[in-house]
Amino acid sequence: MKQFILNAFFVLAVSHAFSQLVDCHPFKEGRYRVNDAHAGGVIIDDRKGDYQTESMEVLKAVVRFKISWQNDCNYTLTLDKVIRNENKVPFPPDLKILVKIILVNGSNSYIQELSSSMYEGIYRTEVTRIP
């Protein structure tokens, strides 16, 4: 009986792990809209190659990040260049944002978890591909 319970637990754990697999590869490049309450509104991300440029109209800022993929669903953004900063937002020169894609909603959107050196905690945002 003890062995049966252990085997059942193992099968359930493995099944759960495989059901959580997320295909993030299609989102490695493209143009996206992010509704981000922490940044004060909508952000437009342009992700291509090793860089992601973020346009934040509410903050009147455009910044470029170096993107480093750890795997298909986890990446780090490191501040590379402040292109525009009309509101004089104090972007730390060592700014890093850790991103984890946790749920893919079809081919056009996903949910991500973010943490950053600019604020405490982890929060979630929805990201939608812009055609």
CATH code for the domain in which residue 62 is found: 2.40.128.20
d(CA 76, CA 100): 9
Residue span of the structural domain in which 62 resides: 25-129
Q: Is residue 64 part of a domain?
A: yes
In a domain, 93, yes or no: yes
Listed range (5-14, 29-38, 41-50, 84-93) with the worst mean pLDDT:
5-14
Q: Is residue 74 in some structural domain?
A: yes
Task: Look at 59 and 101; give whichever has higher pLDDT.
Answer: 101
Whether 18 is covered by a domain: the verdict is: no
Report how far apart, in Å, the C-alpha atoms of 36 and of each of 33, 119, 125, 127 are.
9, 14, 6, 9
Judge contact between 55 and 43, C-beta under 8 A.
yes
Helices (H) and strands (E) in the chain, counts: 1, 8
What does the alpha-carbon distance between residue 125 and residue 33 come to, in Å, rounded to a whole number? 10
For 35-78, what is each residue's pLDDT tens digit?
887 766 899 999 999 999 999 988 899 999 999 999 999 999 99
User: How far is the C-alpha of 44 from the C-alpha of 15, rounded, in Å?
Assistant: 36
Decide if 121 is inside a domain.
Answer: yes
Domain count across the chain:
1
